[in-house]
Chains A and B, each alone.
Chain A
Amino acid sequence: MNAPAPALWRKIDPAVATAFGCTILLLFLGSLYSSSFLSPEYLLQQLKVASFLGVIATGMMLVILLGQIDLSVPWVVAVGGMMSTAATGWGPTGEALAIPFGVACGICLGFANGFGVAYLRLPSMIVTLGVNAVAQGLMVVHTGGFSPQDSSSDAMRFIATGHTLLGIPNALIVWALVGGATVFLLSRTTFGRAIYGIGNRERAAYLSGVKTQRVVLFTFAIAGGLSAFGGILLAGYASKAAQAMGDAYLLPSIAAVVLGGASILGGRGSYIGTIAGVILITLLQSILSVIQMEEAGRQVIYGAVIIAMLLLYGREKVAR
């Protein structure tokens, strides 16, 4: 009778359980400080803020599953935000195409990353660093040379700040759609299985007939598109795009994926873990700022929490 229970228990990843447990612990500690931490408005607001990081971390997770890393996030996010607002300034057609245009720019940069990693066989850490520098250069020329419009379109504001049914923020719905598509991609398509395969051992995946280079190329392209889409959401949320808007998203997105139990070496990790990591990090940042912790203390606690949590469950097995 109770056979399914142990099976279900075994399916729960200890990392995901710990991350969700810590989230609940944080909320509990917060509620001791002020009961407003448990109000539905606060929680929905946090989920809305989390969805920006969530979309960006989704792309980061796909790349990390390959065993690579994407350090081009800061400026690809900025490219997404700035190009979509610039498109908004080109009249009604531009305004209608603002969101797809921004995403397309991100996908192009993602293709550049993927080409360097998959076909030129360069370490992803340095290729994405280079693409990040190029994206920064392009945006500096773009803002300085053409003084484009930097306020976002109505559609961008709608998906980032609006509410539709039952007061659920649209951004959260967007994140849910992105997340659902990612779960489908990872678990129900050959492409997704190939990502896990490459992350475990690219050689073996190649010998099994997977077109590994193409998979890596497209995964980086998807990640670039998602980063840019995150930038579009951020631009919609703040009503305008700015140059350094993506800087605060690189480290949290990596931390969220890793706190969610994914291995930075690739091949291991689940989307539910990334969700847990994103919510945990957003909540941690929010609570630290609500209790008016100084920036210095916030940084120290932030770093210490990541290390402590990883020491709890992220340790590698003793090899040999």
Chain B
Amino acid sequence: MSDWRYRLGEHRGTLLAFAFFVLMFVIYASNHPVGFTANVVQTAANKGALLALVAMAQTFVVLTAGIDLSVGMVFVLTNCLASSIVIGSPAMVALGVVGVLLTGLVCGAINGAIVIYGRLQPIVTTIATGAIYFGIALVLRPVPGGDVDGTLSDALTGRVFGVIPTSLIALAAVVLVIWVPYRRSAIGRAAYAVGSSEVAAYMSGVPVRRAKFLAYVASGLVASIGGLFLTFITASGEASAANGGSYTLYSIAAVVLGGVSLFGGSGSAIGAIFGALMFRTIGDLLFVFDLDPLWQPLFQGLVLLAAVCLGSVRLFQIRNRLDLFE
């Protein structure tokens, strides 16, 4: 009974991200010229769900104290692939979706194999594999275009009962089907252990390599779900390096805002999702306050920097100067 303090501490990042997101979204919706309508929520949810999926993909790897800088490129690659193969008869659409998800899985597995069995650093590896994935995306879609199955995309980007955006339900489904079982499984716990201390995890008999490998595979899979979703929203594919790069960078920002430690071992994908939604709302806030669009990037940058600086609050709790240099 008395472990509530511990549980609160464990979920502090997630709860803070959730609280900040709700606060910002209330400010956003109450100042929106149209007001708090289902349409406003739907648009915000569709945009937010994309970044939320990519941030969730990033979380799997960050929890093991790694980093996946190719996550945006997997997102772009699967977008390009989905814009070509997720169309036609229902069977072909189903096959196409499976193909897209498998591609993401393979991309993640390649990253994982090089990092774990090739023993290279994740930063450099994923930069290089990201270039390769982007090259393949360019082969698939030299110019923007393509199409996607209309029924499926309408179903997944519309609303249920006229109020709840389907994209949020889809996001919740991804969390329930992938994140929750992962978090509760032995291999998910192993990933947290590896992120906290790889040496200690190894000494305790935790399957270090398998846990890390699976984290990269899961990252690729969830990034491909994001790519699929982007195709449903835009109904086209585009191999844009700028898009891939910014999604990668925003995913890191979202993960940090969501209370996931970049040093690994603490935080959750749910926090990262709220971090992503918060990050998207920051951008939208400027729109409702009628700020000059010219100032928008600067404002967004300053808010990001300020939010990140909140992480240094822990410095006040440090008793010994040496603890600064962990």
Question: Measuring CB to CB, which residues of chain A are less than 8 angstroms from any residue of chain B?
Answer: 69, 71, 116, 120-123, 125-127, 129-138, 140-141, 144-145, 202-203, 206-207, 212, 247, 251, 254-255, 258, 264-265, 294-304, 306-307, 310-311, 314-316, 318-320
Interface string of B118-147 (1 = CB under 8 A from A): 111101110111111011101100100000
A316 to chain B, nearest CB (A): 5
* A310-B135 contact given A122-B312, A130-B304, A202-B325, CB 8 Å threshold: no
Q: Confirm or deny: B298 has a beta carbon within 8 angstroms of a beta carbon on chain A.
A: yes
* A123-B263 contact given A255-B128, A300-B132, CB 8 Å threshold: yes
Question: Measuring CB to CB, which residues of chain B are less than 8 angstroms from any residue of chain A?
Answer: 67, 114, 118-121, 123-125, 127-132, 134-136, 138-139, 142, 199, 202, 242, 245, 249, 252-253, 256, 262-263, 294-302, 304-305, 308-309, 311-312, 315, 322, 324-326
Residue of B with least CB distance to A138: B298
Residue of A with least CB distance to B318: A121
- Residues of chain A within 8 A (CB-CB) of B302 are 134, 137
Docked-complex contact B129 and A310, CB < 8 angstroms: no
- Residues of chain B within 8 A (CB-CB) of A145 are 294
Docked-complex contact A125 and B262, CB < 8 angstroms: yes
Residue of A with least CB distance to B321: A206
B200 to chain A, nearest CB (A): 12
Q: With the chains together, A138 CA to B301 CA distance in Å?
A: 9
If A296-B142, A299-B131 are given as contacts, then 16 extra A-B residue pairs at C-beta distance below 8 Å, sorted by A number, are: A121-B312, A123-B263, A127-B305, A134-B301, A136-B301, A137-B301, A202-B325, A254-B127, A295-B138, A296-B135, A297-B135, A300-B132, A302-B135, A303-B132, A307-B114, A307-B118
- Number of A-B residue pairs, CB cutoff 8 Å, is 158
Q: With the chains together, A71 CA to B304 CA distance in Å?
A: 15
Q: With the chains together, A315 CA to B114 CA distance in Å?
A: 10
The B interface is mostly helix, strand or loop, or mixed, namely helix
Docked-complex contact A255 and B124, CB < 8 angstroms: yes
- Residues of chain B within 8 A (CB-CB) of A265 are 121
- Residues of chain B within 8 A (CB-CB) of A134 are 298, 301-302, 305
Docked-complex contact B67 and A299, CB < 8 angstroms: no
Q: With the chains together, A301 CA to B131 CA distance in Å?
A: 9
Q: With the chains together, A298 CA to B7 CA distance in Å?
A: 50
A53 to chain B, nearest CB (A): 15
B80 to chain A, nearest CB (A): 11
- Residues of chain A within 8 A (CB-CB) of B300 are 133, 137
B311 to chain A, nearest CB (A): 6
Q: With the chains together, A258 CA to B122 CA distance in Å?
A: 12
Partner of B121, one of A123, A129, A264, A319: A264
Docked-complex contact B128 and A129, CB < 8 angstroms: no
Docked-complex contact B301 and A258, CB < 8 angstroms: no
Docked-complex contact B304 and A315, CB < 8 angstroms: no
Residue of B with least CB distance to A143: B294
Q: With the chains together, A310 CA to B123 CA distance in Å?
A: 12
A135 to chain B, nearest CB (A): 8
- Residues of chain A within 8 A (CB-CB) of B245 are 247
- Residues of chain B within 8 A (CB-CB) of A136 are 297-298, 301
Docked-complex contact B121 and A141, CB < 8 angstroms: no
Docked-complex contact B253 and A129, CB < 8 angstroms: yes
A72 to chain B, nearest CB (A): 11
Return the 4 tightest CB-CB contacts between A and B, nearest first: A137-B298, A133-B301, A299-B135, A303-B131
- Residues of chain A within 8 A (CB-CB) of B298 are 134, 136-138, 140-141
